[in-house]
Structure formats: C-alpha cells, structure tokens
Amino acid sequence: MPFEELSHTADWSLRVWAEDLPHLFMEAAKGMNALAGIRLAKKPRVRRSFSASAPDAENLLVSFLSELVYFTEQDHLAFDDFDLSIEIEDDQPYRLSATLCGAPILSLDKAIKAVTYHNLQIRQTTRGVEVEVVFDV
Amino acid sequence: MINLQDLAKINDYEWEIPQSFRGDMRGPVRIFSTRKLLEQILGDKSLEQAVNASTLPGLVGAVVVMPDMHQGYGFPIGGVAATLFPQGAVSPGAIGYDINCGVRLLASSIELEAALPHLDSLATLLDHYCPSGVGVKGVVHVNVPELEHLMLAGSNWALKKGYANENDISRTEENGCLEGANPDKVSDRAKARGLAQIGSVGAGNHFVEVDVVDAVLDLETATAFGLRQGCLVVQIHCGSRGLGHQVCTDYVQDFQSTVLRYGIELPDRELVCVPMDSPEGKAYLGAMRAAANFAFVNRQLLAYSARRAFEETFAGKLKNWHLTQVYDICHNIGKVETHQVGENRIKVCVHRKGATRAFGPGTPGLPPEYQQTGQPVLVPGSMGTASWVLAGTETSMLRSWGSSCHGAGRTMSRTKAKHEIRGEDLRRTLEARGIKVRAGSLSGLAEEAPSAYKDVDEVVETVVAAGIAHKVARLRPLAVVKG
C-alpha cells in the first residue's frame, strides 16, 4: 500500500506516495478509506463524476478528498476505483476530472470530518510525488 | 523544534516564549503549565503551532495556551489568540472545524443512592434518546427555511418550539444566540450536512455523561450554580456536527486565494486568514456565527432528550427528577469582546480553540445569579475520570483573555491508543468500576481511553494555581454514552 498512517496527538495523519499526481490522489483516497475502516457492499456498484479546478495541486487534493468526505457522510457511499486525470492550464493551473466507482458503505469504524491544509505540501521525491495529509476526526 | 531552554519561566505555573524567538512573531506566547505538564507538551508540535499562531495579523498581546494543550492542525488545541477588531485577522482554522463545540451541564436533586438501582436503564434510555455515532441522524426533522431560521435565532428557536425553558437560555453563553449570524453565507452543502444531524451527539470525543457531584470545594458558588453534593448531573459535549465542519472547510479553502490578495504571509496554510472588516471576513463571521447558533440548538435538543430519559426513568419513583441547566459554554469559537489591555479597553476578536471562556465576577453578559461568582467553567475529564466545575476569575480577565482550560487534553495519539488498548477490555474495566458504558464503536472507545489523556486533576490544579479559575465542584462519572 503506498500510504502509511503517521502519529498525531489528536487527529489522523497519512503519508501517501505515488509515481505521479493522479495516482497520488487515488492513493490518498484509498488511504483515507483505510483510515476510516470503510467496508463496502459488493452491490450495487455506483458511479459518480467529479471535476474541480484550483490554483495549485494541494488545493485540488483538498477539494477532491473533501468531496469524498461529503459522499461518505451524506450518501453513505465510498469509492475504490478511480478514473482520474489532472490537466495543468495557464489561467487556472490545475484542473481535475474524475469518475468515481464504488458502492454503499456496509460499515465504517470512524468518521473523517474534514481534510486540513496543515503543512500540506506535495513534494517530488525519489519515488515520485509524496504528501502528508492531516484529517479532522 | 522548541526546547525548554527557549522558554522563560515567569513562575511555577506560567512560562513565556518571547516575541524575539522568531522574526515573524507579532507577540509572545504565554503558557499556563507546570514543569511536568510542559514536558508532555514539548513531546508534540503544539508549541510550534502556538508560535505560528502568534503571526496572525492584528494580534494583540500574547497568544495564550492552556495546560491541556496539545497538537492540532494550524492552531494548537488549548490556544487563545486575540486580534484587533475590526481590522485584525479572523482565521477559520484558529476557531476550528467543529464550530462552537462546547459543553452543557445540567444539575438535579436526585441523590446517588436513589438513582443507583436505575442507572442501567437510564444509560440505555440516554443512548436511545441522544443519537450518537457515525452517520446517525438527529432527533428532529427540519427543512432548509427552518434550518436557516434556527441558525439566526439560536436557542430561542428551541424555546419557541418547546425544547427549552427560559432558564436554559439565560444560562447559555451569549444566551444561546450569537448576533450577526448570516445563514446566506452558509453553503448549501453545509446546510445539507446540518439538516440530517440536528439533535445528535456525533462521534469522536463527544459524549453524554451522567455524573455525581463527588466533592464540593466552594459551597457558596456550588449552591449558586445549583450543584449539590451526592446528586446527579449530566454533561453534554458536542458541537455543530457536519454543518460546522463544512463551513470551516469552505472558508479555509476560499481564503487560500483571498489571503494572497491581502498580502498576508503565514507559516501554515491552515492558519489562513482575512481582515475581519473585509467582505470575505464579514462573510465568514456571518457563517461561523450561524454554525455556532446551530451548535447551541444541537446541545439544547440533546438536553431535551436527556430530560426525556430522566423523566422516563425516575417519574413515579422520585418526587423531583428534573434537570436544571447550570451553564452551556463554547470552547471552539471566535467572539468579539472588550478586554483591558494595559491602560486601555480594547475590542478584539478572541479565537478560542479548545479553550473555555472563563469570565470573572462582574463581567457584563453573565446571568444575574452568576455576577458574584463568575461564570461556570466546565472541564470534562477523560472517560472514566473526574470532571470539574470551576468558576472564572478576575485574573483570567487580565492574564488569559477571560479564558481557561477545556478538558484533560490528549497526550497519546489515536493510533497508539488503538494499538495499546482494546475497547472491550476498557468497557469491562469501566463497568467493573460501576460506570455504565453505551458505545457505538469499541475501537472509538479505545481511542478515548483515560490513559490517552493527561491527568485532568493536574490540569485543573495548574489553572487554579495560576489564578485563571477556581474550583467549585468535582464530578465522578456514572454512565457514559458515546458514538
């Protein structure tokens, strides 16, 4: 698994790494599901689309993960399969387009309530790109 | 990394990181702590976060941190920062995601001996009437216009609907309604999260707990607060649920670009802020106050639910089973208040994140019966340990922006707690001590184990020795309902 839980006194923190930005977003979503202990029903499979733009990759990551938090809380849905692309344009540098495939949540251990910007910085590393995300729980 | 040698000792209970510690600080950091608690505090990044908080534009005086402080994100839990009103900064992250998370205390004249045979069924009824846990819906159903109305009216909405009495309102901070709320500045998404959850406890460290008044340390003040030794009380700890989280999420995200327009540079993006008198600042303040009013109503509805459980348990068995409100306080909030700074009275926005307002005797805004005593300061302990009722002091008005501690404060990460403590073992230990436990999640229970927290007695001794609160009564847990 290209993510690991980091120690945090009051909340939850996750380090995620991947070969490129789209995969980093997907692994962050999977890591978030793992942290929350989400178990999905086998059926019905559901599909949702999501698009967003942001001035930088960190903002885009918070938007994406916050959308998943909302789906979990409001619709009791979570996603385990992603078709996701990120384009970088001149006027609004980062643009995300994603198809999310998942299912209703059978059970979860803990609710993630928000995604924070605390020390949020996507870095280039030897294994591609890496980020640490702190969640409010 | 901050070390003990970076701190100047003022006395045994007060320390300071001087403004000269880092070039971008706009004021010092004042720490209320013993040397022993300080060693725990230095074990995480809370002091670095307090130093970061001191860079907020318009900061007045010192950033103050309490002995229950611990690492948060952006702003430390247990922190208080005041910024000059109206041109100073307001920072959503310095108020927190759970806007107006707080504690309500209800007192009774039910004696422990009479209650003991019924505690089990009381715990079950509280669990039934006070929905808790992940994804659980609230006790009332409202539509969007009604939700917007209650975000404007706060606890007065509950009064009109029959969920509150006049005493509840007057014994709630700000009478249960922050002026200046603007539901139009709350996103549809936040409203959707609120609609489903109004009147619910939630999960995490939130709870409904029945305690007994175990010791009275100041009889006169305890009597004024309605607390009687050996009698049952109820604590309700929760906030604005998903609605508040979404408001904070929306504005922290929006301000990432706005902050650049105002030329504000900060060491942590989570501290993002804007001037209070800017259009963006006014919008956030309106939305934050709306979320705070939602939280007041949420705790009021849970108080109503607790009263139902008490009535069903004790009616016909006891003459008086009624629960009377002692007080309801916020510990995640931004409030415009007037404070004495040197020779001047100055209007500031006090950001309290994991800190309780602790107004002393004679402070405007307190109910008449608390004018002589100072306001009740409610300090819940960790699960299974004592909680405290304190009173605000004149010193707190001068030294800590009228604030005090809000709990025991975590010292062990949730991950470590989950690995070291089994929820089932903890439940058995608590039950063996006579504490009834109703918990939706055993792993969630383990995360909130007493050993994951500091010693609340030590935290309380520190604020009392520092003079920013004084002891009124100690509470011992009897039954706890958690998500």
Q: Where are the domains of chain B?
A: 4-411+453-482
**Contact between chains at A10 and B193 (C-beta distance less than 8 A):** no
Residue B139: which of B26, B297, B372 has the closest Cα?
A: B297
Q: For residue B384, what is the DSSP state?
A: T
Residue B135: band (very low, low, confident or very high) from pLDDT cuts 50, 70, 90: low
Q: Is B406 a catalytic residue?
A: yes
Percentage of chain B exceeding pLDDT 90: 87
Q: How far apart are CA A77 and CA B116, in angstroms?
A: 43
Scanning A4-137, the segments in alpha helix (DSSP H) are 21-36, 57-70
Nearest Cα to Cα of residue A12 among A58, A63, A78, A65: A65
Across B228-316, the runs of DSSP E, i.e. the strands, are: 231-238, 274-275
What's the pLDDT score for residue A10?
A: 77
By mean pLDDT, which of A44-53, B5-14, B402-411 is the weakest? B402-411
Per-residue model confidence (pLDDT) at position B5:
94
Average pLDDT over residues B346-352: 98
Q: What is the pLDDT of residue B203?
A: 81
Residue-wise pLDDT for A15-29, tens only, equals 999 999 999 999 999
- pLDDT, mean of residues B2-31: 97
Contacts of B68 in chain A (CB under 8 A): none
3-state secondary structure of B86: coil
State pLDDT tens for residues A42-58: 999 999 999 999 999 99
Q: What integer pLDDT is reported at residue B462 of this predicted model?
A: 98
A-B CB pairs within 8 A amount to: 105
Rg for chain B, CA atoms, rounded: 21
What integer is the mean pLDDT of B18-46? 96
Answer whether CATH 3.40.50.300 is correct for domain B4-411+453-482: no
Give the mean model confidence (pLDDT) for residues B311-322: 96
- Tens of pLDDT, residue by residue over B153-182, are 999 999 999 999 999 999 999 999 999 999
The pLDDT value recorded for residue B51 is 98
Distance CA A95, CA A86 (A): 6
Average confidence score pLDDT of chain B: 95
Q: Are strands A39-40 and A46-54 parallel, antiparallel or unpaired?
A: unpaired
What confidence category does residue A76 fall into, taking pLDDT thresholds of 50, 70 and 90? very high
Q: What is the mean pLDDT of residues B26-39?
A: 97
A70 CB neighbours in chain B (<8 A) are: 189, 193, 246
pLDDT in tens, B195-205: 989 999 988 88
| Chain A positions in Cβ-Cβ contact with residue B440 (cut-off 8 Å) | none
Predicted pLDDT of residue B415: 79
**Range scoring the smallest mean pLDDT among B32-41, B55-64, B432-441:** B432-441
Looking at every residue in chain A, the average pLDDT score rounds to 94
User: Which chain A residue has the Cα nearest residue B354?
Assistant: A10
What's the pLDDT at B449?
Answer: 84
Determine the average pLDDT of the residues in B277-303: 98
Query: Quick one: CA dihedral B467, B329, A12, B132, positive or negative?
Result: positive
What does the domain layout of chain A look like in residue ranges?
A: 3-129
Confidence of residue A89 (pLDDT cuts 50, 70, 90): confident
pLDDT in the model for residue B440: 80
At B269, is the secondary structure helix, strand, or coil? helix
Going by the DSSP 8-state scheme, the letter that residue A72 receives in this structure is I
Q: CATH fold of A3-129, please?
A: Archease, Possible Chaperone; Chain: A; domain 1 (3.55.10)
Contact yes or no for B440/B133 (Cβ under 8 A): yes
Report the gap between the CA of B444 and the closest CA in chain A (Å): 7
